[in-house]
Structure formats: structure tokens, C-alpha cells
Amino acid sequence: MADVEALKKEAGIEACKFVKDGMKVGLGTGSTVKHTVIELGRRMSEEGLQIVGVPTSLATEKLAIEVGIPLVQLSDIDGLDIVIDGADEYDPRFQLIKGGGAALLREKIVAQESGSMVVVADDRKKVETLGAFPLPIEVTPFSHEATVRALSRLLDCRVNIRMAGDGPVFTDNGNMIADAHTGPTISDPIGLETKILMIAGVVQVGLFNNMCDAVVLAGENGVETILNPAGRLEN
């Protein structure tokens, strides 16, 4: 069994091949893409790569500053060339579940502003049908119990507010995360995203549909780049 941490590092570093001089780069969140951020910082200091970054979380902002990537605000630029980010699951149509690290709202805004999206993952993230990983949904603290009940009725499954020790997890935006235990049943992620977003109290859902252009996937037999045939990237 290959060391998962080693696989994450391999995928994270390999994805840097998509980043070229002068690009504006969305910097994702998580234990896989952290290797991308570190490698981009290394290429800047050792190889003269010039980029600017937009982080998708406070944790990534801190790391990017540590490794020397200059940061800009999304509001001050006209879009990004690319975002590189992790995922909790991806299906054969390159639809994703994200938000395991509670950063889904900023991640989705950054992905929406990006000309392309590359996902870095180890091969445990590849699934036939989304949903074995509990679906993260960012909800307002106000009346979150009612929002959880509405989600549970809609999805017909258990929905829990994510906890850290005795208290709820709060996102970088001051919201909470409701995790929906749908099981691997999400065969229509686009339809489901639309329905979930109609519930008042829902800020965003961790279904990333029609956003991912390529997955850089590390497994026991090495790392491969799988291009979405309907996507915006070439190898």
C-alpha cells in the first residue's frame, strides 16, 4: 500500500506543470494542494517563475505568504488563468464533491473566476457515483437547526452540523457546515445542486459541477493526468 502522503505530494507537485510565467493562479485548500503551493513557491524563488495567487482559505493564505507567493484580491483582477485545488470525490463526468476542509464557498468563487480548474488527488477520491463522502453544505448560523431539518427532508438522509470538539466548526466566512450523509446515490449532481441552493439558510453546497478540466491523480502505479474531454485544457 503506497503511502498516501507521498501520493498527495506527487499529485500536488505534478499539477504545477500547468502553471506558466505570468499566470494568475487560484490556490486551493487541503493536504494535497498544499504541496502545489509549496512547489510554486520553490519555483518562484529558485527558477524565477513569476505568478500571483488568490488563496481559497485563510490557511492557504498563510502558507502562500510563508512560501513567498504574492497575493492579490479577486476583486482587483479580471479573473484567474487557473485554479488548482483538491477534491473529496470525483466521478466519471468530472463532477466533484468538495468542502472536506470547510473552504467550499471561497473555493467555488475562485473556481468560478478561473479559466480552468485542475484537481489534485490520490486515487481514493475516484468514485463511480458521488456521495459516499458526506456532502458538505455551508449554512448560516442563524436558524441552522431549521436549515438542517429542511436539508434532511429534501435529501432523505441524516444531516449533521460539523463539530470540532465541543463546538461547531465555523468557516472562514463565519458560517457552519452541514454534512449530508446521502451515501453514493448522487447520480444527478447538477439537479441536486440546484435543489439544495433553493433552501433558505444554505450559503453554498460542495457540489462542483462542470468546473473541473483535469484531474492529476496519484496512485500506486504513479501519477497520471486525466483530461476532461469536455474541458478547457490540453496536456
Which residues would be at the binding site for ligand 5RP (CB under 6 A)? 28-32, 85-88, 98-104, 107
CB atoms within 10 A of CB 221: 8
193 noted as active-site residue:
no
Quote the cell numbers at residue 23: 499566470
To which residue does cell 466548526 refer?
169
Residue 127's contacts (CB-CB under 8 Å, 6 or more residues apart) are 89, 90, 91, 184
Nearer of residues 113 and 143 to ligand 5RP, judged by Cβ: 113
Nearer of residues 104 and 148 to ligand 5RP, judged by Cβ: 104
CB contact at 8 A, 142 and 109: no
Minimal distance, residue 14 CB to ligand 5RP, in Å: 14
DSSP conformation class of 67: H
Nearer of residues 19 and 135 to ligand 5RP, judged by Cβ: 135
Minimal distance, residue 48 CB to ligand 5RP, in Å: 28
**Catalytic one of 39, 107, 138, 193:** 107
Minimal distance, residue 112 CB to ligand 5RP, in Å: 15
Active site (catalytic) residues: 107
